[in-house]
Amino acid sequence: MTVRDVLGHAELRTTNRYLHSKIDAAAIVAVNAAFGVVDAAAATVVA
């Protein structure tokens, strides 16, 4: 599964537009929760 699959974009360039955005820890936790990911280490953001 790729980021493009998760976001549901038909074009990779659409996904690339969002990959360069700053993602905060709360957003990661929300996405993980939506997809049933419960691993706390996966929600760690390294700046």
**Spatial distance between the Cα atoms of 4 and 10, rounded to a whole number of angstroms:** 8
The pLDDT of residue 40: 57
Query: Can you give the residue range of the structural domain that contains 18?
Result: 3-43
The pLDDT of residue 45: 53
pTM of the model: 0.37
Number of domains within the chain: 1
3-state secondary structure of 28: helix
What are the tokens at 33?
């929760």
More confident residue, 38 or 47: 38
1-19 tens-digit pLDDT? 777 777 787 888 887 787 7
Helix (H) or strand (E) holding 27: helix 25-34
